[in-house]
Chain A
């Protein structure tokens, strides 16, 4: 198992001008570790990050779009795996941060904790390739080659839950972050 911050720091080393759509706890951690104008934190409601990423990847085929999903969020929209695989955006990389908990809602376990395989579901849905990591050195050593592949790609990050969740929902739902992202996206 890995720490979320450590995983995101590995990803941040490879970030240059990609759009990053991040859901809830991943959004709080990502924007703290790597604040950037092309961070899209405005995912609306649980379960929508993956298809928001699909919409941006469709509208901006010249940009790579990285989705940082939560496991509880993705469980609410497992069907989006089939939708994304069918649309087949080559510029979409879909990460799920799997800690087995509804972190923002009390830490209750997700259904299927320790049993289901998100990467397996994505692979069988038709993503171009899927990967799973539970070792930070392994993730760091392979990430460059993954980012070079044609999407849609799926990456499961197996995480341990550490520390209390962040609850600054005004940050992700407020107009400042959203409008800043839209302006940055359309001038990039």
Chain B
């Protein structure tokens, strides 16, 4: 009968079809990545204390826990956790993105922003570029596959080689800025997603987001820029 409203659509079942659950997955994986990045950043800054310090740090990562544990155990645990985080984060992002596209099949002729920040607007494309960055970055500095001096060199040499190359440095810089934006929004978003924001905490959460995003961006940018400007070689 046509006078009846659209039949009620049965909600999908299953934990991971729920958009809030997907968001939680993003938030948790994002936080794991943030923690990793903080550590990674500190490690990178060792480049300022010279090649030995940097290379031995790289070596240390591979030998944590030895001899009690086989070589590279800790590294592999970190790698697996990170891989899982990236994959889950990516999966949830894509799935929410697709849901959002279904939710606005006809675009507006004119649409303005009222509140939306640049950071929140760029999460998706920014995130995609970050994904490309991570792939490139691993090929470059871990595997050395795309590195100017190849994979046989020491980590430090690979680093210097990459950032002596202007286009590569630029790519890193752009990616780091995007990362900063991603985190500026992401840290606030993760707090909200985990149900931890409220009016009272709003300022604190936003402050924290700016702080962490700023520290990570600046911290990561120091090394490539220093190399590019010849402060490290």
A and B held together in a complex? no
Chain A positions near chain B (C-beta within 8 angstroms): none
Interface residues of B, Cβ cutoff 8 Å to A: none
